[in-house]
């Protein structure tokens, strides 16, 4: 059982849905990023998605691309991302952290070294968007053996033929991408998402969380109502990009979390 498994078991026993927040590690700088990450649990966040900055984030929209660029320009690295997670763990031993990013920095570090360091830093799961299930031997299977969940994305184009392969080695939860396209590109509609969640849940016992296109407490509530929880990323990153104080960013996160928890 990982922290992710424990969190979903607790939420289920409480009859509550999960709220997951994404932030880019090191955006706009290390210290402010750490301040925001440390404040997320108090704002109602159940699981933290911590973005790993990368130079070619092909699946991300402009908001998250720019966040990664700011972080990289500020000197953020894979090592410093792990350091940030380790610093978070000094005061929080229960909130799960999922590192989300691309394979190149992990490959460059060496898979075995990365997995050892990530587990030691307190990372609980991975979302690596450019590794398809056909490449599970590269990272997914080793990660599971190292005690980290490997979370896979399903999308509106993941048909019934493809879905079993996507779910085969997934653990922790399934991240359903509610719209086609890049992050932050459109608003999702719960009426369109609900049948897809039902279809996925017919094939897995894992929780299914909905992300992409959620910007308001009302949208978080409507999405969480048809799934096991909601993820917000670009909207939060956008507040950080505006230079809002950490307290203001966290107030916004708290409003989103409250919406998801009402579902």
Measured distance CA(27)–CA(71) in Å, rounded: 5
Catalytic residues: 49, 60
Which backbone phi and psi does 22 adopt, to 5 degrees?
A: -105, 135
Those residues with Cβ within 8 angstroms of residue 21's Cβ, 6 or more apart along the chain or in another chain: 40, 43, 45, 47, 48, 49, 231, 232, 233, 236, 253, 256, 257
60 near 16, Cβ under 8 Å? Answer: no
Tally: H helices and E strands in the chain:
12, 9
Report the side by side order of strands in the sheet with 97-101: 149-150, 125-128, 97-101, 47-51, 18-24, 229-232, 208-211, 174-177, 152-154
β-strand 125-128 against 97-101: which pairing, if any? parallel
Beta bridge partners of 183: none
Structural tokens at position 237: 């990153």
């Amino acid at each position: 059982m990982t922290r992710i498994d424990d969190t979903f078991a607790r939420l289920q026993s409480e009859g509550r849905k999960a709220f997951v927040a994404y932030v880019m590690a090191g955006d706009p700088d290390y210290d402010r990023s750490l301040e925001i990450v440390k404040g997320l649990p108090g704002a109602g966040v159940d699981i933290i998605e911590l973005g790993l900055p990368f130079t070619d984030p092909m699946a991300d929209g402009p908001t998250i691309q720019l966040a990664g660029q700011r972080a990289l320009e500020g000197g953020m690295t894979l090592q410093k991302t792990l350091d940030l997670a380790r610093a978070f763990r000094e005061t929080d031993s229960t909130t799960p952290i999922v590192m989300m990013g691309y394979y190149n920095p992990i490959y460059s570090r060496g898979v075995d070294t990365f997995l050892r360091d990530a587990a030691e830093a307190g990372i609980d799961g991975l979302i690596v968007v450019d590794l398809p299930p056909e490449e599970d031997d590269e990272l997914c299977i080793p990660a599971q053996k190292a005690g980290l969940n490997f979370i896979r994305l399903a999308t509106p184009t993941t048909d019934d033929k493809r879905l079993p392969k996507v779910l085969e080695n997934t653990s922790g939860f399934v991240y359903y991408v509610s719209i086609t396209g890049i992050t932050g590109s459109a608003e999702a509609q719960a009426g369109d998402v609900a049948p897809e969640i039902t279809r996925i849940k017919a094939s897995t016992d894992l929780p299914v969380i909905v992300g992409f296109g959620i910007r308001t407490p009302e949208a978080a509530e409507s999405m969480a109502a048809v799934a096991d929880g909601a993820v917000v990323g670009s909207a939060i990153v956008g507040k950080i990009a505006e230079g809002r104080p950490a307290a203001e960013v966290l107030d916004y996160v708290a409003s989103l979390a409250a919406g998801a928890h009402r579902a």
